[in-house]
């Protein structure tokens, strides 16, 4: 790194001239991993000055720049001069815009073509997964972890145009509902509801448009906090000059991203007006304040609890929202003509019938609830059923009751086969006392739950 710093010293000593837009910030190089970008004035003398520094580096380190792997990007340099420069240093002449890590480094608004690598990457992932017959739970997990992280990687580096963000969101939506890149017509739940918090009846995804805006506001926060980024130092020297973010106007020669950030000024004012300690402002803080909020729902803990099974939780989520493809709904859309329940054959198949009224389903429920130590209540109204479930089927008390019941039943089985006495010999607290304790818990639970 000390060697790279010698570029700054050389520029200040006149061995080569700074690039016109780099003098105020004394910028001569950028280095990332094993890539190096050097900036200088576009005259032959300056470029030869840079090459002489690289030769010095070679003399004491033995590391020589490979001219065949290096590119020269110029703007506003006459062709005749460019020929001279190229024959002197042997670098390839690169074409603007520069692409680094597959991202176009441009000051204008990015187009869909510029972001094609991102869209292709997401489409390839979807094509790869579409043949795997994934459940809704699996698809949700992939959208949440993989597709969102690809978007997050890009949006942290550049501000994506709204059209591109919408295209990516459409791909995520299609994959979630159809498991492929085909139109999500007939989606059972609106994407905006899916992208709300689980406690608000959604699936906890993020709206990418809001996410993109949060990234923009994070950049505004960095400008206001004056946090040590070269980009911030550069825009203060060459764009804001004597003004600050609150007073500078949008200008045609500013980059598209900078003009977009200035356009967000009123929103930024509302958001940051009371902020005094900038280091406390993180991405999550901004996100919590800009995303749309819905009313809380009382049932989310029924289906989203530690160690839940995503596949079943999403089915339960659709049941509660009444979005299962039951025959009454399919008949309304003209997809089926017979809407009689396939289990009992007596009534129309609807969500309420399937889960509350159907004689066949009630037998199943009775067996399941009995196995959990609960009794089936006579509930024919969905709202009452939800109220009963919210009151009885959640929380640690419920899990403890089910666990105690299960253990009690297994203990009874063991006692009936005469194995308890054998197991309790020499086991201390795991003997009869433990059995009593389990029964005690179970009995207490029954009293507490009014069973
Ligand atoms: Zn039925």
pLDDT confidence of residue 1 = 52
> What's the chain's average pLDDT?
81
pLDDT confidence of residue 424 = 36
The reply to whether 275 and 225 lie within a common domain is: yes
The reply to whether 378 and 415 lie within a common domain is: no
The reply to whether 423 and 383 lie within a common domain is: no
pLDDT-derived band at 448 (thresholds 50, 70, 90) equals very low
CA 413 → CA 154, 221, 313, 325, distances in Å? 59, 64, 32, 41
Q: Residue 416 above 80 pLDDT?
A: no
Q: Residue 46 above 80 pLDDT?
A: yes
Last residue of a domain, one of 96, 112, 130: 96
Q: Would you say residue 243 lies in a domain? A: yes
Q: Would you say residue 430 lies in a domain? A: yes
Q: Would you say residue 444 lies in a domain? A: yes
Å from CA of 320 to ligand 1 middle = 18
Å from CA of 340 to ligand 1 middle = 8
Last residue of a domain, one of 36, 67, 96: 96
The reply to whether 11 and 71 lie within a common domain is: yes
pLDDT confidence of residue 410 = 64
Q: Residue 397 above 80 pLDDT?
A: no
64-78, 92-106, 289-303: which range is least confident on average? 92-106
- 376/370: higher pLDDT: 370
Å from CA of 178 to ligand 1 middle = 29
CA distance 6 to 12: 10
Q: Residue 316 above 70 pLDDT?
A: yes
The reply to whether 6 and 84 lie within a common domain is: yes
Q: Would you say residue 410 lies in a domain? A: yes
Of 88, 91, 94, nearest to 73 (Cα)?
94
Q: Would you say residue 155 lies in a domain? A: no
Q: Would you say residue 74 lies in a domain? A: yes
CA distance 175 to 130: 8
The reply to whether 417 and 431 lie within a common domain is: yes
Mean local confidence (pLDDT), 205-219? 89
Question: For the chain, what is the domain count?
Answer: 4
pLDDT confidence of residue 161 = 84
- Mark the residues whose beta carbon lies below 5 A from ion ligand 1: 341, 343-344, 358
The reply to whether 418 and 386 lie within a common domain is: no
pLDDT confidence of residue 403 = 67
Give the domain extent around 255.
211-290
Last residue of a domain, one of 96, 117, 152: 96
Q: Residue 431 above 50 pLDDT?
A: no
pLDDT confidence of residue 441 = 44
Mean local confidence (pLDDT), 99-117? 79
Q: Residue 186 above 70 pLDDT?
A: yes
pLDDT confidence of residue 442 = 41
Mean local confidence (pLDDT), 423-440? 41
The reply to whether 387 and 443 lie within a common domain is: no
Q: Would you say residue 133 lies in a domain? A: no
Å from CA of 351 to ligand 1 middle = 10
Å from CA of 359 to ligand 1 middle = 6
User: Which percentage of the chain shows pLDDT scores above 90?
Assistant: 14
Mean local confidence (pLDDT), 250-257? 90
Mean local confidence (pLDDT), 44-72? 85
Å from CA of 354 to ligand 1 middle = 6
Å from CA of 315 to ligand 1 middle = 19
The reply to whether 349 and 414 lie within a common domain is: no
The reply to whether 381 and 351 lie within a common domain is: yes
Q: Would you say residue 173 lies in a domain? A: no
Mean local confidence (pLDDT), 303-330? 90
The reply to whether 371 and 344 lie within a common domain is: yes
CA 78 → CA 41, 43, 74, distances in Å? 14, 10, 10
Cα angle: 272, vertex 277, 282; to 5 degrees? 70
- 259/366: higher pLDDT: 259
pLDDT confidence of residue 97 = 83
The reply to whether 84 and 11 lie within a common domain is: yes
């Amino acid at each position: 790194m000390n060697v790279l710093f010698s570029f700054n010293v050389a520029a200040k000593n006149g061995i080569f001239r700074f690039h016109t837009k780099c003098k105020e910030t004394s910028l001569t190089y950028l280095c990332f991993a094993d890539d190096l970008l050097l900036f200088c004035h576009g005259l032959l003398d300056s470029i030869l000055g840079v090459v002489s520094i690289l030769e010095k580096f070679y003399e004491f380190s033995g590391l020589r720049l490979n001219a065949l792997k290096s590119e020269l990007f110029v703007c506003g340099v006459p062709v005749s001069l460019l020929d001279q420069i190229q024959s002197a240093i042997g670098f390839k002449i690169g074409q603007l815009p520069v692409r680094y890590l597959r991202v176009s480094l441009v000051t204008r608004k990015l187009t869909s073509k510029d972001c094609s690598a991102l869209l292709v990457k997401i489409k390839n992932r979807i094509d790869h997964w579409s043949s795997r017959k994934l459940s809704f739970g699996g698809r949700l997990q992939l959208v949440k972890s993989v597709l969102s992280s690809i978007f997050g990687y890009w949006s942290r580096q550049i501000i994506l145009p709204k059209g591109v963000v919408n295209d990516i969101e459409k791909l995520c939506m299609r994959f979630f509902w159809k498991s492929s890149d085909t139109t999500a017509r007939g989606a059972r739940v609106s994407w905006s509801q899916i992208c709300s918090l689980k406690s608000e009846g959604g699936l906890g995804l993020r709206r990418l448009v809001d996410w993109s805006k949060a990234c923009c506001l994070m950049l505004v926060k960095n400008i206001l906090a004056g946090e040590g980024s070269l980009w911030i130092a550069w825009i203060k020297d060459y764009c804001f000059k004597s003004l600050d973010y609150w007073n500078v106007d949008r200008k045609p020669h500013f980059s598209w991203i900078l003009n977009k950030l200035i356009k967000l000024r009123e929103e930024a004012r509302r958001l940051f007006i009371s902020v005094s300690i900038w280091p406390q402002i993180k991405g999550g803080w901004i996100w919590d304040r800009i995303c749309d909020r819905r009313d809380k729902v009382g049932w989310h803990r029924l289906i989203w609890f530690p160690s839940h099974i995503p596949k079943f939780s999403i089915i339960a989520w659709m049941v509660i929202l009444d979005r299962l493809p039951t025959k009454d709904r399919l008949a309304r859309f003209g997809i089926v003509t017979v809407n009689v329940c396939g289990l009992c054959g007596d009534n129309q198949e609807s969500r309420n019938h399937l889960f509350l009224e159907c004689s066949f389903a009630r037998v199943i429920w009775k067996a399941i609830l009995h196995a959990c130590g609960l009794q089936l209540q006579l509930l024919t109204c969905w709202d009452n059923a939800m109220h009963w479930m919210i009151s009885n089927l959640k929380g640690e008390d419920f899990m403890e009751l089910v666990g105690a019941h299960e253990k009690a039943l297994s203990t009874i089985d063991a006692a009936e086969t005469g194995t308890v006495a054998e197991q309790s010999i020499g086991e201390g607290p795991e003997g009869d006392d433990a059995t009593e304790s389990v029964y005690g818990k179970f009995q207490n639970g029954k009293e507490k739950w009014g069973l």
